[in-house]
Chain A
Amino acid sequence: MTDAAFTRRAALLGAATAGSLLFAGGKAGAQQRPAELKIGITTFLSGPASVFGVPARQAAEMLFEEINKAGGIGGVPVRAFFVDEGPGTDHLVGEYRRLVQNEGVQLIFASISSGSCLACTPLSDEMRKTTVLWDCGTQRIFEEGPHPFAFRTQGYATPEVLAPLLYLLKHKPDFRSIAVINQDYAWGRDSWEIWKTAMDTLKPGVRVVAEMFPRFGATDYSTEVTRLLAARPDVILSTHWGGDLVTLVRQAAERRLFDRSTFVLPVAEASMQILGRTMPAGHVIGARGDHWNNHPRPKDPERLRRLVEDYRKRYNEYPIYPCHHMAQAISATQAAYAKAIQAKGGGWPNDQELANAFRGLTFDSPTSSITLREDGQGLEDQIVGMSSFNDRFPFAVPKDMVIFPAAMVSTPVGQKSVDWLKTLKPEILAQVPAAIAG
């Protein structure tokens, strides 16, 4: 029976092996125009961050369908492989390898989580596979070293935190005290460091009355709200997102914290639909970019309208920022392939030629156009405004919007965000564009 046990396991492994061999995509064929353009997409399909991951996947499915109907990218139909980021780094980097070595994907859209991005980008260097960082925000990616095959098609932490700060300094310049309540993980800590550094440079002497980092996924903020009610800060910063933000806003609104202090919520947009009328008016809200449903002057109003309407028709909700970030990554891919194919006189680009096309690429998003800098970082404008309600939307949208040009609020190439923020001059406030009523 030893042999039987052998054959059993051998058959199991053999089946697995044969299965994967059957699926194995040839790397050699990369130069010829492939039968389909395979794109691996890592996104959260489980866990708390699936509030971002699932809408983004829906947007991708919708847009790829549209693209394929119109003939694909460079005449090649697109096929997406979705991978769940939920199980953690060791699983994800394994999946990255599977996508590249087994499915033979031409490029990868990596990650919502910053930790996932930090794990995937070095892999893109090693495997020489173009990787579009489609949603993660950590400033560490391009500031800690070059990544020749990685490109981020949207903004990142520094502009996303600096823009709301500049907005606050411009529209409510006389605040004297501040409290922070951020989720207790890397983004919560990083965003506070960015804010604090910039605030201390531009407006020294603001008193920090409370620094609170409640547990990620906390369900009860009564202690924090009580402390904030007692401390009476002029401003409360919170970079909470998703379910945590909804919980915080509901519990704080119930106890009238919004009446006493001005909130600054840089990642508010994605939670506005769920909060509906619960979100109080007159607080600073951001969107991790410029893609508000009521963008005052989108570059292509028809395209934005179509994206929003199509998405609503299909999924019965408004698209949120991860949908737009996905749309940006897809737009960038289309533009890069067009550029690479043209550069090759109609030939299909290999990995290196594709990466070359991404460098310095300018592409259109539904709301504006984005340029990828020489280090791979995309320059996405930021729109910040005051929460308000109008007849068009059943949830809060900004008014008195300021469009911050990306270059103004992004750390220059080759510098570290915290060092750069220390060199800011108060004159930057004079450059802040005028608010648009909206």
Chain B
Amino acid sequence: MNRLVEPLLALAATALLVLAAWAVPWLKFVLTIALAKGLAVLGILLLLRAGQVSFGHSMFMALGAYTVAFLAPQVPEALLLLPLAVLFSAVAGLLIGLFVVRYRDIFFSMLNLALCMVFYSVLEKFYAITKGTDGIRVTPITIAGQEPGRETQEWLIFGLALVLAVGSGLLVRAYLASPMGRALAGIKTRETRLEFIGVPARRVLLFAYVLSAVMGGCGGALLAMTTRHVTPLLSYWTASGELVFILILGGAGSALGPFLGAAAYELVRVYAAALVADAWQMILGGVLLAVILFAPQGLWGIVAGRLRGRA
């Protein structure tokens, strides 16, 4: 496939998103959320390249979000909060990663799930600090020292999310094409061979894990800055399930897949909820079933199929 097709598609998608956000003001919010979740899903995609599914990745999203919520009163600057969220999630990813990369397959998935639920319980039970299930309100934040109005602020965060999404997409693309990224596929097919050629599989996976944690934290930070209210539900297992759902919907074939999936997911949910307030779950479930049955490679699979068809 042409090396330029994906970046070109990304560029077009970016333009479309901006157009949609400009034409329909309230969609700007929904799309920012989609980009934030897409970022976290991109992290899961990395691990999936190594054949590992994390059922607990919303933990890092919650970590990023709570970092923003806790630090915003002291550091009310988005451009400082984001790196801080990245730092915290990287450290957490490293510490947790040291343990979980020893496991594979179902054990890797469940261990992540367990840790994510532990984090949920911590957020919920340490009531005096985290305010429990009611959650914490994120105090107003500045962007580059400016304190713009609501409308401008929404645009700025949306822009920030877009930049981060495109940046991470390119990074992931480059990473997956690098020897480190190729080694991930090696873990999936046969790990022993990797060791034989002198590549430490665990370290390869650990690097991917930390990178994916960082992207989760980044997504969470964006989510907190957008919704301005964080609750422990962010780290609940259903939130992790949602991320995996988005990955299946979008397809794991390309760095564009997660964002495609996230946008589709949020739009379907929002329109389904607007259409039938008490049966939107059924529509969402129907869409996933349809994707699994008719497009097992996800939405990206459909796009890629068309591209290949021409090439």
Contacts and interface: CB of A to CB of B under 8 A. Distances in A.
Contacts of A189: 127, 132
A119 B266 CA distance: 19
Contacts of A5: 9, 303, 306-307
Given A17-B24, A20-B27, A119-B229, A6 B132 contact: no
B188 interface: no
Contact of A98 (B23, B134, B135, B270): B270
A115 B231 contact: yes
Contacts of A83: 273, 277
A4 B306 CA distance: 8
Contacts of A9: 13, 16, 303
Q: Which of B12, B223, B231 has the most A CB atoms < 10 Å from its CB?
A: B231
Contacts of A216: 133
A138 interface: yes
Contacts of B226: 90
B70 interface: no
Contacts of A87: 269, 273
A45 interface: yes
Interface residues of A, number: 49
Interface string B265-300: 011011101100110110000000000000000000
A95 B306 CA distance: 34
Given A2-B5, A4-B306, A89 B274 contact: no
A34 interface: no
Contacts of B104: none
A84 B228 contact: no
Q: How large is the interface on B (under 10, 10 to 19, 20 to 34, 35 or more residues)?
A: 35 or more
A118 B307 contact: no
A254 interface: no
B20 to A, nearest CB: 5
Contacts of B278: 45-46, 82, 84
B131 interface: yes
B133 A115 contact: yes
Nearest to A140: B134
Given A84-B280, A94-B29, A186-B132, A16 B20 contact: yes
Interface string A65-93: 00000000000000000111001111101
A2 B311 CA distance: 10
Contacts of B135: 89, 115, 118-119
Contact of B134 (A1, A2, A84, A114): A114
Name the residue among B20, B25, B277 with the largest chain A CB count within 10 angstroms: B277
Given A93-B227, A101-B25, 13 more contacts: A1-B309, A8-B303, A9-B13, A20-B27, A88-B231, A88-B233, A89-B135, A90-B33, A90-B227, A119-B135, A119-B227, A119-B228, A122-B229
Interface of A: 1-2, 4-6, 8-10, 13, 16-17, 19-21, 24, 45-46, 82-84, 87-91, 93-95, 97-98, 100-102, 114-115, 118-119, 122-123, 126-127, 138, 140, 144, 184-186, 189, 216
Interface of B: 5, 8-9, 12-13, 16, 19-20, 23-27, 29-30, 33, 124-125, 127, 131-135, 137, 150, 223, 226-231, 233, 266-267, 269-271, 273-274, 277-278, 280-281, 303, 306-307, 309-310
